[in-house]
Structure 1
C-alpha cells in the first residue's frame, strides 16, 4: 500500500488528476476519459461515472451551494475505449436549493442519468442521528489487498478465485479498504448480509470539500458485494452467481468530512430476489459523526435464473 510520500503523490494524481479529471468542451458539456474498467467487470466502474457527473454539476452551481443528495440510474454499461460526455441541465435555481440533471452519453447513446440537489449551509438547533456501530478501529486490520495475497496461499480458495485475485492485484489502488471481518473477503461460509469496512483515499486530496464528496461517491459504489455474503460465493462449493451490475445509486450528504482520513463504511442488504439486490450504507467519521448515507439496487443473477 502507499506509505511513502512518492506513492501518496502518485495515488493523489490517479484520483484527482486522472480518474476524476474532466475536460470542459462547451457550456454545460464535459468530457471524461481515463476510464477505469475493473477486472471481472463488463463495463466502466459506475462510481467513476457518478463522480464525473457530480464534478460536472458542481461547476455550474453557485460556490456557496454544496451537494446534499444525488440520485442516479445506470442505463447501459460504459466502455473504457471511448470518452464519456456529460451534459448538465439547469433544472432549478433557488436561493437555498438548486438542482441539476446530468446525462452521460457515449457513442451517441445515453448510458447514465443523475439528478443532483444542492443547498446553502444553514443551522438549526434540532438535530439527531443513528449511533455509530461499535467495531474495532482500522489499526491492526489487514487491507483487502493483503487479504487477497493471503487467499492465494489458502487451499480452501478455488483455482478460479485465485486466477481472479492475481489479475485484481495488477489494478491501480486508489483507496485503502480494511474489512473489520476478513471473512467478508473470503466468503467461504454464508454470513449475514452486513459488513463494516474502514476506507480512506490514498494520497492527499486537498482542502476542497467538494472534491472529497466526489471521491466519496467514487468509492461508495463498492456496496453491491454485501448482498453476496449470505451465499458464501468464494468457497469450493461456490454459488452460481453469473452476473452483477448496478441499476441505480443514491447518496445523501449529511456532514462535512475528509475522505483521505479513515472512515467506517457500514453496508447491509435487506433483500435479494427476482434477480435484484437492495443495499444500503452509511459512511461514518471516526468521531461518530454520520457523514453520508447510500442506497443502491443492482442485478444479482444466477445461472438458475429463468431469463
Structure 2
C-alpha cells in the first residue's frame, strides 16, 4: 500500500516557484540561473502562497525573488535570473555521455515488475517496491544501467557509491553536482545541490 508523504516534495516547490517568477517577466527572456533555499518543511495539506518580488528588470537581464509561504511563514526562498536571448560566436559545453536512447531503456514500472518476479529477491524489498509502484509520478524515469536487486550484496561498495563524484561531505552536509542533457545532446542544465546528511554513528559491539 502507499503512504502519502508527510512533507512537500522539494522539486514541486522549485518548479512552481520558477513558474511564478516566469509569469512576472516578458516572454522573450528565459531563466539561466536559479538559487534555492529550503527554509522549513512543507505541509502537503496546506496551499502554498508564492510571493514574487521584482528585484530588477533590465534590457538584457531580469532578477526575481520568490518566497513560498505556508501558515504565514516562508518554507522556501529562491532567486531567479532571466536573460534575453543573445547570439554569440563562442559556443562550448560538456559533451553528453554515450548512453542508449530512452527508446531502448526500461521504465521504472517495468523494472519494478522484473524485480518482483525475481525468485532470488530478498524478502525486505517487495514491500518497498510495491509502495514505489503505487505512486503516481508525473515524470517518466528510465535508469541507464540498473542493477539486479538480488546482486546488490555481491557488489563492491565503491560501485554502489560512485554518485559522490568528488563532492564534499562533512559537517552533516553533502554537495553534489549534476548535468542534464537534452536527447539531441545539447546541455540543458548544470546544477549543484547541498543537502543535509545525518548519520547515526555506529557503536561497535565487539568486546575485544
Q: TM-score, normalised by structure 2?
A: 0.84
Structure 2 distance, partners of 1:300, 1:156, is 32
Structure 1 distance, partners of 2:64, 2:202, is 38
Specify every segment of 5 or more residues in structure 1 that has no aligned partner in the other structure, as ranges.
Answer: 1-37, 195-225, 228-267
Moved over 4 A (4+): 38-42, 155-158, 184-187
Shift in Å, 1:90:
0.9
2:57 counterpart of 1:93: yes
- 8 A Cα contact 2:175 2:195, kept in partner: yes
Alpha-carbon spacing, 1:271–1:159, altered in 2? closer, same or farther (3 Å): farther
- SS of 2:7's partner is coil
Q: 1:128: which partner in 2?
A: 92
**RCO higher in structure (CA 8 A, sep ≥6):** 1
Q: How many equivalent residue pairs?
A: 198
Structure 1 distance, partners of 2:30, 2:117, is 46
Q: Which of residues 153, 173, 177 in structure 2 aligns to 1:280?
A: 177
Question: Can you list the C-alpha shifts for 1:64-101, whole angstroms capped at 9, x where unaligned?
Answer: 11111111001111111100111001111111001000
Q: 2:34: which partner in 1?
A: 70
Q: 1:106: which partner in 2?
A: 70
- 8 A Cα contact 1:278 1:297, kept in partner: yes
Question: Can you list the C-alpha shifts for 1:135-194, whole angstroms capped at 9, x where unaligned?
Answer: 222233221222222222345554443212111111113121111111298882332645
Q: 2:111: which partner in 1?
A: 147
Q: TM-score, normalised by structure 1?
A: 0.58
The answer to which structure has the higher strand fraction is: 1
Specify every segment of 5 or more residues in structure 2 that has no aligned partner in the other structure, as ranges.
Answer: 204-208
Q: 2:44: which partner in 1?
A: 80
CA-based RMSD of the aligned residues comes to: 2.6
Q: 1:301: which partner in 2?
A: 198
